[in-house]
Structure 1
Amino acid sequence: MTGAALVSHAVLVVEDEYYVADDLRRELVKAGATVIGPAPSVERAMALIGSADRIDVAILDINLNGDMIFPVADLLRTRGVPIVFATGYDHKVIPPRFVDVVRCEKPVSPDTVWQAAAMLLRDTRP
C-alpha cells in the first residue's frame, strides 16, 4: 500500500511521548495526510475533536500520562471515525466494545501505524 491512501485525509494523533508523536506526525505528513495534533492528553484530544472540521481516522495511544484514552475513543466512535490503537498494552486491557479496533503493538514503527490507518480509510470508503 502506498501513502496515496492518506493524501488529503485528516488524521488525529493522540500520543503523550513527544518523540513518538513527532515521528508519527512527520511520517503522516510525508504520506500526504493533514495531521490534527498530536495531542498529549485526553483533555487536549477532546478539545481537538471539538474544534476539528473533520477527522477521517484517529491513531490513539491507550495510556496518556496515567489517563486511559477510552472516553476519546467513545466520542470518535459516535462520530463514525475509524480508530487505530498504537499501544504497548495487551489486548486484555482494551474494553470489549473496542474488540474490533486495529491494535499496533509498541514498539511499532510510524510506517506500520500509518499503513494501518490507510487500510482503515480504504476499507471505509463507500
Structure 2
Amino acid sequence: MNRAERRRQERAAQKAKTATYNLTKEQLDNAVKEGIKEKLAEVKEQATQDAINTAMVLLLTLPLEVLMDHYWQKSYAKRIPKFTEQVLEYYERWQNGELDMDKLKEDLWEYGGVRLEERED
C-alpha cells in the first residue's frame, strides 16, 4: 500500500467516525429553543433556591440581632436557643399548612404596625 492509499484510508476512517445530520432550519431552531428552555429552568430553580436560603438566613439573623442589641442584652445567651427553636417550629408549621399567611400578616399589622402588601410591577 502506497502513501496515497494510506491517506485515502485514513480520511475514510475519519469520515466514518464523524456523524453527519441534515436538519431543517425549523428543526434546528426547535432544538436550540429546547436547550434554552432547559437551561432557563435550571437557572430559575437555582435563583429560587438562593432566594429561599437568603430569606431563611435573614429570618433567623435579623430578629436575633435586634433581640441581642435592644431587648436581651444581658440574658441573650440563655434565651436565643429557645427563641430560634420556636421560630423554626413556627416555620415548619407554616410549611405544613398549619399556619395561615393571611392571619400572620394580620397579626403583624395589628400588633407590629407593619403592613405587608404584594405589588405588581
Greater radius of gyration (CA): 2
Q: By percentage of residues, which structure has more helix?
A: 2
Question: Normalising to structure 2: TM-score of the pair?
Answer: 0.25
Considering Cα pairs closer than 8 Å and 6+ residues apart, tell me whether 1 or 2 has the greater RCO.
1
